[in-house]
Amino acid sequence: MSLYDDVVAIAKPYLGPAAERFVSRQLKGHLDIEGSQLSSHHLEELAKWCLVSGKLIMSEDQAQEFSRKVQGLR
How does pLDDT run across 24-69, given as a tens digit for each residue?
A: 999 999 999 999 999 999 999 999 999 999 999 999 999 999 999 9
**Measuring CA to CA, which residue among 48, 20, 16, 18 is closest to residue 35?**
20
Give the N- to C-terminal CA distance of the chain in Å, as an integer. 15
Query: Could you tell me the pLDDT band of residue 74, with boundaries at 50, 70 and 90?
Result: confident
Query: Could you tell me the pLDDT band of residue 20, with boundaries at 50, 70 and 90?
Result: very high
Using the predicted structure, report yes or no on whether residue 1 has a pLDDT greater than 90: no
Residue 33: predicted pLDDT = 98
